[in-house]
A = this chain, B = another copy of it.
Amino acid sequence: MNRRPGTRTLALKKAPAVRSYAAVVGKKEGEGPLKHGFDSISEDSYFGEESWEKAESHMLRQCFSLACDKADLAPSSLGCVFAGDLLNQCVSSSFALRDSGIPYLGLYGACSTMAESLGLAALALEGGFAETVCAMTGSHFCSAERQYRFPLEYGGQRTPSSQWTVTGAGAVILGSGGSRLHVTHFTPGCIVDAGITDPSAMGAAMAPAALDTLRAHFADTGRGPGDYDAIFTGDLGALGHDLLESLFAREGVALGPRYMDCGVLIYDLAAQKVNAGGSGCGCSASVLCGHILPGMERGVWKRVLFAATGALMSPTSAMQGESIPGICHALAIERED
């Protein structure tokens, strides 16, 4: 038991190791600033399938296979997979893994799923419930757009605060050793609802949740932003990034240039016309696996705080006038020398 009373951060004594990871993205993401880090870039938005939903599933399956290959692991040897996605009933994950024969624990954490799945995977290892566990998620621009917004053919206008759903997937395999990268802390998120009702302002809806979780993480661990070489939020976008910075500044905490957002990093915002940046489960997942973890391996950062954010709303809840609850799960990932 490593959780102090009144805290919510779990310090992981065994510090599960990152055995392998993989990132698969679409064409647009493959033209962005992080293009050199992804394992695979598909020129075809259908990934060879006949629908965007099947394409999303295909992308996840490919990403899962790549992660297993890179860990030199037979998929069937995995203890379990934690996975989820944005599609109704999370079908891209379940169809991606339906032939795997691996215990499957489906999650719904909206765009926070990479951190939620990785946190639960880390706990499964910490508890000794498995030897190797996979955490995975992804999203697809076309399937998300038609499910959450408008038919693609409609060509709807986009507000300046809107974000572009990343076509991308990330998978991480954790094990008990065999890597210098370790998950050392998991701070699960509480739902925070600041009353935002505009589904085109997800950054504003999720920033208060990121504030809540990061504040808890700092308080629980006795660490501050300066103890991390880099802090990444999931997909707050440019507006949400600045908002979180302001919210912390009000409390006298300077996040500084070490603070970055995956949704800002993955695209050249102006040139790629993505307004406030990237979003979707696949945003933080592909940036984690295609940029952050490779960067840590290369020694760019030694200690990273990864805080994926999610908006727990649906088109129906928005149409019924509900505000948008946010959540943020955070993980400390550290490199041993």
| Chain A interface residues (CB < 8 Å from chain B) | 1-3, 8, 10, 51, 53-54, 79-80, 84, 86-91, 94-95, 97-110, 116, 120, 123-124, 126-130, 188-191, 193, 312-317, 320, 322, 325, 327
Contacts and interface: CB of A to CB of B under 8 A. Distances in A.
A190 B320 contact: no
B108 A107 contact: yes
A80 to B, nearest CB: 6
A37 B290 CA distance: 52
A193 B98 contact: yes
Nearest to A127: B127
Contacts of A190: 100-104
A129 to B, nearest CB: 6
A91 B317 contact: yes
Contact of A314 (B80, B89, B123): B89
A288 B101 CA distance: 27
Nearest to A87: B314
A127 B126 contact: yes
Contacts of A90: 108, 312
A98 B313 CA distance: 11
A74 to B, nearest CB: 13
Contact of A316 (B87, B314, B317, B320): B87
B320 A99 contact: no
Given A89-B312, A90-B108, 9 more contacts: A1-B128, A88-B315, A91-B322, A95-B312, A98-B191, A105-B107, A105-B120, A107-B108, A120-B120
A9 to B, nearest CB: 10
Contacts of A129: 1, 3, 10, 123, 126-127
Contacts of A79: 3, 8
A188 B87 contact: no
